[in-house]
Amino acid sequence: MRNTKQEFITAFWKLYERKPIEKISISQLCQTAGYNRATFYNHFENIYDLLSRAVNHLLSPVKSKVLSAQHLYALLERNLIGNILFACFQQQDKYIELLFKRRDYYVLGEQIKKEFLSHIFQKAGSGPENPENFERIEILLEYQIAAVLGVINYWYQTGETISKQDILQRIYDISAKGVLNSLKDELSKISE
């Protein structure tokens, strides 16, 4: 039995390796996947919906590990979330790099934020008693995800001058210590 969605995702990545999403036609995609247009539209709204689902598929190992944790706080307390993300980063390196080089990494950020918020709401119960707390959590996630993706984008754009492990460790260190404290430390090293 064929897995139609997965075959479209595989075809998408093959084409995306060669050209940006704006240059991928549904006809090319269907030809590469071996299906007709009607089959494509039975499973996806458009090419951007396919991109979103392809990214969601990349994140499925992270999602399953995060969802299996009893408490999200425990993931954040130690560098467990960093280790989980690093493992995903290593396994899906080629596709993640493509998202950054094609400047479509915002889809990755939206998927990560959506999964974390879903997990938080699920653990909190059916409805938030204090919506202001959840708004603060959304703002924190938005800030953190944008910062992390910005640093990773910078790393790719400047030629990956340090190892993946080192850039992810630096991201974690800044996140754990705080941006302003990290900046103060670095400025104090320069002035000494």
What's the CA angle centered on 123, arms 147 and 79, to 5 degrees? Answer: 45
User: Lowest mean pLDDT: which of 37-41, 118-122, 135-139?
Assistant: 118-122
Rama region for 178: left / alpha / beta (φ>0; ψ in -120 to 50; rest): left
Q: Which of 22-36, 84-98, 106-120 has the highest mean predicted lDDT (pLDDT)?
A: 22-36
Q: What is the DSSP letter of 22?
A: G
Tokens describing residue 60: 């499925």
Work out the percent of the chain whose per-residue pLDDT is above 70: 78
Instruction: Identify which of 159, 161, 56, 149 has the alpha carbon closest to the alpha carbon of residue 105.
Output: 149
Q: Which residue has the higher pLDDT, 107 or 41?
A: 41
What's the whole-model pTM score?
Answer: 0.78
